[in-house]
Structures are given as structure tokens and as C-alpha cells.
Amino acid sequence: MKSRETLIRLKKFQVDEKRRKVAQIEGMIAEFDRIGGDLEREIKTEQERAGIHDPGHFAYPTYAKAAMQRRENLKRSASELRTQLDEAQMALGDAFEELKKVELLDERDQLREREEEEAREQAELDAIGLLRSGAQA
């Protein structure tokens, strides 16, 4: 029984680790999206300040070009993280299923042990009852 309890603790730990990884990736995606939004506003502000909205124009603001490149890099990174997030969520689901299987096996074993114990107790009570009824006869 101890090994089963240890296995359950291990599976719970693995599920918790996978949950933390999913949460971490989600946090990174949210942060990248937030920074991308900030950069988008800065680009628009710089374009308005310069009065030039065409990135191909020779006088287009250098800061706006750099911010556009950074924004695109962030979008690409967020996209890659979304792929990792899908994989991490699948791994979490698999780990959770494994935990449930082990917990169900443990419940089944505990139920069987309780039934066996109850059957032993009933047999003892039956034996005591037979002894008493035989003594009274």
C-alpha cells in the first residue's frame, strides 16, 4: 500500500509541475501580447509625430522601424509559445489521466480491503453467535 501512496504523491507532483508550466507559458504569452500592444501604440505615436505612415518612406522614423521589428519578434515568439502551450496542456491532460487511474486503482483496492475486513468481522460475529446459541441449547 505504501508504494501506491508514493505513486499517487508522485503523480500529483507531476500534475502540479505541468500546471505550473502551463501557467508560466500563459503568463509569458500575456506579457508578450501586452508589450506588443504597447509597441503598437508607440509606433502609431511616432508615425503621428513624424507625419509619415509609410515604412518604405526614406524619412520614416528609425524608432518606429525598430519598434515594428521588435513587435514582429514578439508576435513570432508568442506564436511559438502557443505551440508550446498546446503541448504543455496535452502533457497536463495525460498526467491528470495517469493520476486518476492510480487513484481509481487505490480506491478499488481500499474498497476490496474494507469488504474483506467486513466479511472477517461478520464471520467472527457469526462464530460468536453460533457459540452462544450452542451454549444455550
Q: What are the angstrom distances between the C-alpha of 54 and each of 7, 44, 126, 127? A: 61, 11, 95, 97
Q: What is the reported pLDDT for 137?
A: 57
Contact at 8 Å (CB) between 88 and 25? yes
| pLDDT (tens place) for every residue of the chain, 137 residues total | 578 889 999 999 999 999 999 999 999 999 999 999 999 999 999 999 999 999 999 999 999 999 999 999 999 999 999 999 999 999 999 999 999 999 999 999 889 989 999 989 998 888 888 888 776 65
DSSP assignments along 25-53, one per residue = HHHHHHHHHHHHHHHHHHHHHHHHHHT--
Predicted TM-score (pTM) of the model is: 0.74
Q: What is the reported pLDDT for 135?
A: 66
Q: What is the reported pLDDT for 129?
A: 80
Q: So what CATH class is 2-99?
A: mainly alpha
Contact at 8 Å (CB) between 105 and 4? yes
